[in-house]
Amino acid sequence: MPEPAKDPVRVQLNDARLVTIRPILPSDLDALRRFFAALSRATLRFRFHSSISELPEQLLRGFIAGHPAHSAFVAEINDGPVEQPILVAEARFIPKADSESAEFALVVADNWRRIGLGTTLTRILAQRARFSGVRRLWGDVLEDNKAMRGLAHSLGARLSRGMGCVRLSLEV
């Protein structure tokens, strides 16, 4: 049986735009740097739960390091001949030791929201998690992140309130 979500997948989104979803590669460092630099401050705050204007280089390098237990994916567009990929979304999960659960994170570029990209990426992440033995994905979302709360609800995730955050839990 082939391992799910290991090869690139071409997806047509709700607005007919096409993206390729694939595992992140070490060669994606510059594209990932450009992706995060292009995000609005609000989007960065939703993703990292604090006000930042730029990601530290060490964190960016950690995102592409390729830890064997972690799974990370990017969505890219190919608008004609480009040397470097143009990333429009990034998602990952990190299994917790001695557990069948994994923390996950997702961020979609500001102008690529509400067209099914986050849902598609989360489903691919869940498929990969299930294949890896993970039974539950969870993540903390800021209370005012209505988009992620809506995504979680649409996927059937359970939501529980904490201090300033909502924990979403998705059985895979």
pLDDT digits (tens, 9 = 90+) for 125-159: 999 999 989 999 999 999 999 999 999 999 999 99
Q: Domain segments of the chain: what residues? A: 9-171
Cα 22 to its chain centre, rounded Å, is 11
d(CA 86, CA 15): 18
* % the chain with pLDDT above 90: 78
Residue 160 has pLDDT above 60, yes or no: yes
With 0.85 as the threshold, say if the pTM is over it.
yes
Domain at 9-171, CATH homologous superfamily:
Gcn5-related N-acetyltransferase (GNAT) (3.40.630.30)
* % the chain with pLDDT above 70: 92
Q: 3-state DSSP helix/strand/coil percent for the chain, to nearest 5?
A: 35, 30, 35
Of 124, 129, 134, 114, residue with least CA distance to 90: 124
pLDDT of residue 54: 86
pLDDT band at 34 (very low <50, low <70, confident <90, very high): very high
pLDDT of residue 99: 86
pLDDT of residue 79: 65
Question: Tokens 């969505």 correspond to what residue?
Answer: 75
- What are the DSSP E strand ranges found in the chain? 9-12, 18-23, 71-77, 86-95, 101-108, 136-142, 158-161, 165-171
pLDDT band at 1 (very low <50, low <70, confident <90, very high): very low
d(CA 158, CA 152): 8
47-97 pLDDT per residue, tens: 999 999 888 999 999 998 867 678 999 999 976 666 778 999 999 999 998
Residue 5 CB neighbour total at 10 angstroms: 21
> Looking at this protein, which amino acid is placed at residue 104?
F
